[in-house]
Amino acid sequence: MCAQPAFAAWEFHDVTDDSGEAYVGTVLDDSGEILLEIYCDDWLPGMVDLTLYTGEAHDPDSSYADEGVMTVTADGASSVDITAFFDDMDGELLIYTSNFEVDNIVDVMLLMAQAQQTIGVTYFDRAYRFSAEDAFSVIERLATDCPAE
């Protein structure tokens, strides 16, 4: 019998405060160090951000590609390609996309919501794997609660 990695389930957070309405859906990989986040707020109603916090230090001396293709896969089968970008926040390397820059982020969210076991994300030479547990309910809640245009 082989041991399988223990993944964390998706979580929904209402992060609304005095500055405005905001919601986030998150999931950690099995290492507990890589975070996948879907975020929306009322600052730009209708905008959805998808951010992968890599846990890697952003190297200011490195030359990162301006953009690339992020492939999101559900259960190792169905996949959607989306344009994404490297970014940094407080010295951490991020992989980021939003429906401000691309027009198929809804396709990615639908794919993730339909996943039954795992959600894979690849970007250049990086590959990450997350649980699909509770992805449907969290993404459905984001679709319902996120401020619309």
Domain boundaries, the chain: 11-67+83-106+133-145
Q: Which pLDDT band holds residue 2 (cuts at 50, 70, 90)?
A: very low
Separation of alpha carbons 92 and 82, rounded Å: 22
**What sign has the CA pseudo-torsion 23, 44, 65, 112?**
positive
Which pLDDT belongs to residue 6? 54
Range 110-132 average pLDDT: 97
For 53-73, the pLDDT digits (tens) are: 999 999 989 989 989 999 999
pLDDT mean over 25-47? 94
Q: Give per-residue pLDDT as tens, 84-101.
A: 999 999 999 999 999 998
